[in-house]
Amino acid sequence: MKIVENYSLQPLNTFGFDVSARYFGQAETVEDLRQAIGFAGEKKLLLIPLGGGSNVVLSDHLEALVLAVDLKGRSVVSQQNDQMLVQCRAGENWHEFVLWTLDNEAYGLENLSLIPGNVGAAPIQNIGAYGVEIKDVFHSLEALDIATGELRTFDRDDCQFGYRDSVFKNSLKDRFIITSVTFELSSVLEPKLGYGHLQNAVQKKAAGQSLTAKMISDVVCEIRSQKLPDPAVIGNAGSFFKNPVVPASVVDRLKQEFPDLVCFPFEGEWKLAAGWLIDQAGLKGFTMGQVGTYAKQALVLVNHGEGTPRELVALADHIRSTVLARFGVELEMEPRVY
């Protein structure tokens, strides 16, 4: 594997920030990963695995070895009755993988269409949309132990999935590099249409025809495209903040002052719509230098062209403090800041 110095990461982060790394490598095999771990250890450098660059905020210059995890391959591992085990290596693009599963009549990921990033990052974040999360369709994953260079298999319980959370963001943070993920899908479509606007749009799309997973995927893509900017056009990382989960007492308090509060039940508590909070705080379409919130969706932070990571972090801090002052609710960032 070739490792190069002073490498521009501008095309490798969806914010499009003009940042660079002291060293950069592209790993296409597990042996490449092991070589990179050894190199970083010898140089006493931080090792930063990079997937699609869609859930990170990178500093101006990283004194680190940034490693593009580019392991490729996808296959149907087994099929028994309706159950299908489908494996995908970490470097595959997530949306392209979703479309591949639909082409192979393996259903369950259609609600997660058009989420940016690569497959290897999906379990770390427990990505989710429209009533489906990774944990709902997850079977296992394989990951490389950075300390030992050994491969280890994790099942669903091992991953300790939570809302946009997993063990890889907590006790095992920075200790493993995910190499492949196996999903438990079905050859029989079981539509998940619990979100009213999704159900209405899907019914309109079907228009009396037999419902297909491709129809659901197409509708999800249409909705996301209307709400979220294309990173190729305007730099962004999708939803920047998690929807806060709060007890009922907080919802009761907020509804007294804000009767139109957007919230919904979630595992015995309530989930607030972070985008609504930011919008109501007067920050939708707000700009700070060359960064800002997206005019159509306050939950998305954007780079207007010449923005810097420092400006973006300052904007995020301003949004968090403003929302806290107005609602008494803490916002938590989704992307990782390096």
The tokens of 215 are what? 């129809």
Residues 102 and 171 in one domain: yes
Alpha-carbon distances of 103 from 23, 107, 133, 187, 213, rounded to whole Å: 38, 9, 21, 11, 10
For residue 125, the enclosing domain spans 74-186
Backbone Cα Rg of the chain = 20
171 assigned to some structural domain: yes
Residues 91 and 182 in one domain: yes
Residues 47 and 103 in one domain: no
| Tally of domains within the chain | 3
Q: Which of 54, 63, 22, 13 is nearest to 307 (CA)?
A: 13
The tokens of 194 are what? 């619990």
197 assigned to some structural domain: no
Domain boundary (30, 45, 69) is at 69
Residue 142, pLDDT score: 98
Residues 81 and 181 in one domain: yes
Catalytic residues: 164, 239, 334
Residues 53 and 91 in one domain: no
225 assigned to some structural domain: no
Residue 195, pLDDT score: 83
Low-confidence ranges of the chain (pLDDT < 50): none
**How many Cα atoms sit within 13 Å of 283 on the Cβ side?**
25
219 assigned to some structural domain: no
209 assigned to some structural domain: no
Alpha-carbon distances of 287 from 124, 261, 290, 292, rounded to whole Å: 30, 25, 7, 4
Residue 125, pLDDT score: 95
Residues 63 and 96 in one domain: no
Its pTM stands at: 0.94
Domain boundary (14, 49, 69) is at 69
Which residues, including other chains, have CB under 8 Å from residue 35's CB and lie 6 or more apart? 1, 25, 27
- CA 57 to CA 13: how far, in whole Å? 8
Q: Which CATH number fits the domain that encloses residue 106?
A: 3.30.465.10
pLDDT digits (tens, 9 = 90+) for 69-86: 999 999 999 999 999 999
Alpha-carbon distances of 234 from 2, 14, 90, 120, rounded to whole Å: 31, 9, 26, 24
Residues 45 and 85 in one domain: no
Domain boundary (121, 155, 186) is at 186
213 assigned to some structural domain: no
Residues 179 and 83 in one domain: yes
On average, the pLDDT of the chain sits at 96
